Amino acid sequence: MNLKDFSGSAARLITGSAFLIAGIEKVLVSHDILIWILKGLGLPTFAAFPAAWIFPFCQIFFGLFLICGLYTRVCVLFFSATVALEEIILLQAWLRMVPVAELDFYGIFLSHSIIWQIFQNVMLILILYPAFFYGSRYTLDNLIKSTLTENKK
């Protein structure tokens, strides 16, 4: 295993675990609290309500897929898009000086400032880079593909 494969696999496992844990925490928390946080950040009600119900389960399933190595690049693109969207929501809330003292989309049970959350999202995006480019060597996708090609021979 070379350094690129190791860094890609480690990044895939780290980000997949982070999103899995965050999704589980969001499912365990009342959806009303999550809707309240999203509306407080400036999301309209018609977007906050479905996001509070759908997004936690997407985080769980895509996090599991990323850990196992199923649809690795699709999962990384999904998480990159959601983190980028969250960055936009957080930046507009920060620029409007929304009085949100404590929040954390990746672990609601912890409390962070908006600035810390923005920094955390930037770090997640940087960690997703090696997961996208180098994280597909030791995955279930690769194992299934090699098994299918061996069976054809």
DSSP letters, 80-130, are HHHHHHHHHHHHHHHHTT-----B-SS-TTS-B-HHHHHHHHHHHHHHHHH
Q: Is residue 151 part of a domain?
A: no
Cβ–Cβ under 8 Å, residues 13 and 42: no
Mean pLDDT of 19-26: 87
Q: Which domain holds residue 88?
A: 3-146
Q: Whole-number mean pLDDT of the chain?
A: 81
pLDDT bracket for residue 103 (50, 70, 90): low
Q: Is residue 76 part of a domain?
A: yes
Residue 76 has pLDDT above 80, yes or no: yes
Distance in angstroms (rounded) separating the CA atoms of residues 54 and 107: 16
pLDDT of residue 107: 46
Q: Is residue 152 part of a domain?
A: no
**Residue with the larger pLDDT of the pair 128 and 33:** 128
Residue 119 has pLDDT above 70, yes or no: yes
Number of domains in the chain: 1
pLDDT of residue 106: 47
Q: Is residue 96 part of a domain?
A: yes
The DSSP 8-state label assigned to residue 136 in this structure reads T
pLDDT of residue 100: 58
Q: Is residue 153 part of a domain?
A: no
pLDDT of residue 105: 52
> Has this prediction a pTM greater than 0.85?
no
**Residue with the larger pLDDT of the pair 93 and 123:** 123
Q: Is residue 37 part of a domain?
A: yes
**Residue with the larger pLDDT of the pair 54 and 150:** 54
pLDDT of residue 61: 93
Distance in angstroms (rounded) separating the CA atoms of residues 124 and 57: 19
